[in-house]
């Protein structure tokens, strides 16, 4: 029997993984420009971290987590998202005591959720996320949203917008939840099973339901902004003012509530602003002022962040017909003719690799014409030809694979020659 990969996962083959490498490299470069530092947390954590941090009433905790007992009978869970683990590390490693505050962190890595496979969704998927933990300011919120917004623009995706809402503080959110219960309760039997289960546990999630999105009660539901106090309204207005200054295109979405319990105040999603594209939501995030305290950290520390799926970023690039500027060339292919030259070619290949060049040679002593075809398949910029006469004269024939021009170069000068030819590419 042929063993297949687990359902909801994917093999990323070399012709695709080169795109992933480019994207991840670009994300790290952008993060550095915005002064975010990388954090790496375990792929599995205590189950309690997610049940407390993400929320018992969320779909993630109730339906989607990969949870198991280890040999010490401890309940562990493969991380379904990155915020809870980052906050746990912030508290455990006392990053709140660092001189520089807030802590601006980013991560790139696999997450795991047991959900139905669909386009852009996998049970193992890779997220890039940022978290700004320690201080609260509308300027921070606007910076985080601007970072998410501009990531897509830097990859060439122009048709995007920010959907944004304010979830208020816990007291305002509670008052709003009570209003939603009164609104939906008389006709809750018209909604799906999930919405029925959410009515008293987390009624805001009904607004986010994909099954009943067109129901008239969702369209006529109370607006959360009407339940905000003056302080929360002013904070939200300041966020929008800074987004205007940053040139971020946004629209207020009164039904945007996000799926996790820890969000307060600012919540947002990045959307493709193109009615012809099936994939709409690219990433989301928001402020989580109570999460640090909930996980037994300092009460006065606040946080905000977002996460994006690299799988969905790739789909967005595809939907917008954007080609990544991938360099799939190698610097040199060494062509050796004859046994003695072949041995010298192996040494030359190794010497050039150690000098910082990408180099390949032939393993099977093929004829020169066949080796040149292999050099073409590798998209080599140059081929270096060694035969008996070159060995005797201490020279190499260097061929430009685009112009087909050839030069004879002394063996001891080859590194300097390549450095001159490939200057600016290294």
Q: Which residues are annotated as a binding site for L-histidine?
A: 81-83, 113, 127, 131, 258, 262-263
Distance CA 249, CA 232 (A): 22
* Spatial distance between the Cα atoms of 414 and 401, rounded to a whole number of angstroms: 16
- Element counts in the chain: helices (H) and strands (E): 15, 16
Q: Is the dihedral of CA 417, 418, 419, 424 positive or negative?
A: positive
CA distance 267 to 224: 12
Strand pairing category for 250-252 and 160-166: parallel
Phi, then psi, of 278 in degrees rounded to 5: -70, -45
CA dist., res. 242 & res. 219, Å (int): 29
The token pair at 200 is: 């008293």
Token pair listed for 306: 């977002």
DSSP run (H or E) holding 78: strand 75-78
- Which residues define the annotated binding site? 81-83, 113, 127, 131, 258, 262-263
- Give the helix/strand (H/E) hosting 398: strand 395-400
Under a CB-based contact definition with an 8 Å cutoff, are residues 135 and 102 in contact?
A: yes
Q: Which 8-state DSSP code applies to residue 401?
A: T
- Which of 288, 213, 326 is closest to 52 using CA atoms? 288
Residues facing residue 309 across a β-bridge: 127
**In sequence order, what are the residues at sequence separation of 6 or more whose Cβ sits closer than 8 angstroms to the Cβ of residue 383?**
332, 333, 334, 335, 372, 375, 398, 399, 401
Tokens of 405: 């021009």
Helix, strand, coil percentages (3-state) for the chain, rounded to 5, are: 40, 20, 35
């Amino acid at each position: 029997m042929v063993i297949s990969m687990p359902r909801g996962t994917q093999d990323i083959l070399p012709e695709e993984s080169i795109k992933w490498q480019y994207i991840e490299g670009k994300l790290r470069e952008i993060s550095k420009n915005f002064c975010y530092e990388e954090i790496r947390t375990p792929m599995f954590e205590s189950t309690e971290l997610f049940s407390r941090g993400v929320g018992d009433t969320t779909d993630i905790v109730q339906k989607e987590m990969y949870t198991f007992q280890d040999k010490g009978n401890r309940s562990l869970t493969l991380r379904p998202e990155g915020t809870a683990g980052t906050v746990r590390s912030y508290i455990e490693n006392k990053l709140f005591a660092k001189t520089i505050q807030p802590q601006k962190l980013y991560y790139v890595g696999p997450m795991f959720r047991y959900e139905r496979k669909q386009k852009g969704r996998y049970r193992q998927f890779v997220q890039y996320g940022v978290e700004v933990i320690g201080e609260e300011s509308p300027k921070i919120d606007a910076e985080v949203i601007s970072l998410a917004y501009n990531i897509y623009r830097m990859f060439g995706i122009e048709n995007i917008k920010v959907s944004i809402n304010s979830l208020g503080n816990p007291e305002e959110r509670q008052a709003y939840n009570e209003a939603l219960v009164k609104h939906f309760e008389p006709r809750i039997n018209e909604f799906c099973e999930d919405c029925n289960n959410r009515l008293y546990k987390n009624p805001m999630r009904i607004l986010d339901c994909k099954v009943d999105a067109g129901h008239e009660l969702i369209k006529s539901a109370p607006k959360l902004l009407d339940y905000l106090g003056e302080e929360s309204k002013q904070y939200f207005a300041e966020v929008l003012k800074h987004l205007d200054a940053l040139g971020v295109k946004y629209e207020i979405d009164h039904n945007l509530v996000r799926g996790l319990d820890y969000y307060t105040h600012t919540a947002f999603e990045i959307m493709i602003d193109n009615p012809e594209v099936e994939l709409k939501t690219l990433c989301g995030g928001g402020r989580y002022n109570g999460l640090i305290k909930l996980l037994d950290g300092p009460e006065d520390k606040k946080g905000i962040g977002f996460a994006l799926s690299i799988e969905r970023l790739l789909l967005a690039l595809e939907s917008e017909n954007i080609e990544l500027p991938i360099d799939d060339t190698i610097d040199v292919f060494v062509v050796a003719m004859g046994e003695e030259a072949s041995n010298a070619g192996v040494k030359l290949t190794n010497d050039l690799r150690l000098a910082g060049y990408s180099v390949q040679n032939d393993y099977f002593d093929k004829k020169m014409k066949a080796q040149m075809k292999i050099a073409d398949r590798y998209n080599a910029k140059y081929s270096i030809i060694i035969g008996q006469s070159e060995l005797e004269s201490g020279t190499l024939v260097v061929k430009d694979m685009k112009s087909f021009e050839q030069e004879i170069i002394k063996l001891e000068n080859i590194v300097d020659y390549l450095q001159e030819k490939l200057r600016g590419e290294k």
